[in-house]
Amino acid sequence: MSEIKYQSTRSKTENKTFAEAVIQGISPDGGLYVPTQFPKFDIHCSDFLAMSYPQLAESIFKPYMPELTTATIKSNVNSAYDTKFSSDDIAPLKTLGEGSFIELFHGKTQAFKDMALSILPYFMLTSIAHTKSEESVLILTATSGDTGKAALEGFADVSGIDIAVFYPTDGVSDIQKKQMTTQTGDNVHVFGINGNFDDAQTAVKTLFNDEDLKALLGERGYRFSSANSINIGRLLPQIIYYFNSYKLLVKAGTIALGAPINICVPTGNFGNLLAAYYAMHMGLPVHQFICASNQNHILTDFINTGIYDTNRAFHTTTSPSMDILISSNLERLLYHLSGGDTEQIQQLMNGLKTSGRYEVSPMIKAKLDSFYGGYADEAKTQLEIKTTFTQDHYLIDPHTAVAYSVYKDYVKATGDHTHTLIAATASPYKFADSVLEALGHDATEGTPFDRIRKLSEITGTEIPKEIAALESAEVKHGGTIEKTEIRSTVAGLL
């Protein structure tokens, strides 16, 4: 196999190394970087079942970043996954019948974004050193709640890197907001915006290709990069936990080595599910991908019709990390399904920009058959939280509840009883009010932390220490700006 490079989804002129793609974040043509090929990982190799999470990460990362030495990759992995997670398994499994929850919330910020953002800062520093870049990096990040805190935590006080995070002021939970606004660090900047996540993400992606602003950055010794999943350095680490979960299923005797599985993911920006798709191309035996949406079910409609249409009402829900109408990583999937037809992808993205919609070709639509799309509205989400706790004594957050509800709908609709990995993406304590309400309790009395304690008392579950510590944390970033002010705000940081 030749060395893997990274090219844009929108043109074949971009051909970067991993280090170059990580620093760049997004291609100058507006496209996203994708690997030129998928390396194979043999689950039947003698070492697989004995590998620790870090060992698995090293093995999977190596072919994706051939310019980096084995020692460098090992150092990055060890730095990321040493003491930053409360579980020895990093991402342990909780099995209920024919489904196993991948608990992706045992990191510092209690959400699945920790899985990748614990290592991205090390990838970024390694890439800067490898490319001998003399510029400092300004990371721009739009967040629907979880990415922001995980990125801030990862990059705080990292020399040579500044980070600015933009989140919808009224579109995140109280705990998500407190996590971001209390972040310490001399290089961190946090802004609420009067708008939704799509507004923030669109503005940030536009700034990456704003030539005047990039020139201003250059004059001041900076360049842009991203900590969102549009950055390939964010996406690749998410592959690891799908292989690791498969390993844990085999070791537990839940499935036989080589048996196919389904993967169900609560989906907003499509990065988490795309990582599962990448894992399949590397050799993970996946039978069906289940794409679970909330009341903003644009992805459900797309999978079922082949038409992506943002001209619809936007709903603010109890699963805010999925309150998204523009799923950026879907562009990468379309690129792969089209056979790397960059001209076709450019046309589709132009349609999205000009009219807010596009329709894929019959060939791409046919290839979407490996994806099942379903959604859970607010009532179904609440019911799933209550049912899962009362029947199975397992407490889940609203995003995970969306996934579990859609998984059950899938089984009813298809009769497919293939064992399924379900991504449990956040601690229920990040959304205590929504969980309390779903369990039939008042979610208005007292402070948010009073209600967190109430949830703990009612359910007999432990409050994560990182969330408990927020109660006494000092708010350091309280500003809110208009979405039209994002450009001037970024310019003012320099």
Within-domain flag for 452: no
pLDDT tens digit sequence for 59-80: 999 999 999 999 999 999 999 9
What sign does the dihedral 169-443-101-55 (CA atoms) show? Answer: positive
Within-domain flag for 347: yes
Average pLDDT, the chain: 95
* Residue indicated by tokens 């549009």: 230
Check whether 83 has a pLDDT greater than 90.
no
**Of 442, 440, 439, which Cα lies nearest the Cα of 428?**
439
Within-domain flag for 279: yes
Q: What are phi and psi of 154, to 5 degrees?
A: -70, -35
Quote the longest CA-to-CA distance of the chain: 61
Domain count across the chain? 1
**Of 309, 311, 324, which Cα lies nearest the Cα of 172?**
324
Please write down the HEC assignment for all residues of the chain: CCCCCEEECCCCCCCECHHHHHHHCCCCCCCCEEECCCCCCCCCCCCHHHCCHHHHHHHHHHHHCCCCCHHHHHHHHHHHCCCCCCCCCCCCEEEECCEEEEECCCCCCCECCHHHHCCHHHHHHHHHHHCCCCCEEEEEEECCCHHHHHHHHHHCCCCCEEEEEEEECCCCCHHHHHHHHCCCCCCEEEEEEECCHHHHHHHHHHHHCCHHHHHHHHHCCEEEEECCCCCHHHHCHHHHHHHHHHHHHHHCCCCCCCCCEEEEEECCCCHHHHHHHHHHHHCCCEEEEEEEECCCCHHHHHHHHCEEECCCCCCCCCCHHHCCCCCCCHHHHHHHHCCCCHHHHHHHHHHHHHHCEEECCHHHHHHHHHEEEEECCHHHHHHHHHHHHHHHCCCCCHHHHHHHHHHHHHHHHHCCCCCEEEEECECHHHHHHHHHHHCCCCCCCCCHHHHHHHHHHHHCCCCCHHHHHHHHCCCCCCCEEEHHHHHHHHHHHC
pLDDT tens digit sequence for 194-226: 999 889 888 888 898 899 999 998 999 999 998
Let me know: does 80 contact 30? Beta carbons within 8 Å.
Answer: no
Side-chain half-sphere CA neighbours of 150 within 13 A? 32
pLDDT tens digit sequence for 95-130: 999 999 999 999 999 999 999 999 999 999 999 999
Q: What is the pTM of this model?
A: 0.94
Check whether 257 has a pLDDT greater than 80.
yes
Radius of gyration of the chain measured on its C-alpha atoms: 21
Count other C-beta atoms under 10 Å from residue 403's C-beta. 32
For residue 358, the enclosing domain spans 93-111+235-431
Within-domain flag for 126: no
Residue 205: per-residue pLDDT = 86
Let me know: does 91 contact 102? Beta carbons within 8 Å.
Answer: yes
Q: How far is CA 198 from the centre of its chain?
A: 15
Within-domain flag for 459: no
Within-domain flag for 67: no
* Residue indicated by tokens 């697989």: 48
Residue 494: per-residue pLDDT = 75
Confidence grade of residue 229 (pLDDT, cut at 50, 70, 90): confident
* 132 compared with 404, residue with greater pLDDT: 404
Let me know: does 452 contact 295? Beta carbons within 8 Å.
Answer: no
Residue 352: per-residue pLDDT = 97
Check whether 147 has a pLDDT greater than 90.
no
* CATH number (domain holding residue 344): 3.40.50.1100
Within-domain flag for 412: yes
Residue 447: per-residue pLDDT = 94
* Residue indicated by tokens 């970087």: 33
Find residue 289's DSSP bridge partners.
Answer: 263, 371
Structure tokens, 138: 């300004």
Q: What is the mean pLDDT of residues 388-402?
A: 98
Structure tokens, 224: 């842009």
Q: What is the mean pLDDT of residues 125-149?
A: 89
Within-domain flag for 7: no
Let me know: does 125 contact 80? Beta carbons within 8 Å.
Answer: no
Let me know: does 420 contact 290? Beta carbons within 8 Å.
Answer: yes
Separation of alpha carbons 282 and 145, rounded Å:
30
* Residue indicated by tokens 């990448």: 278
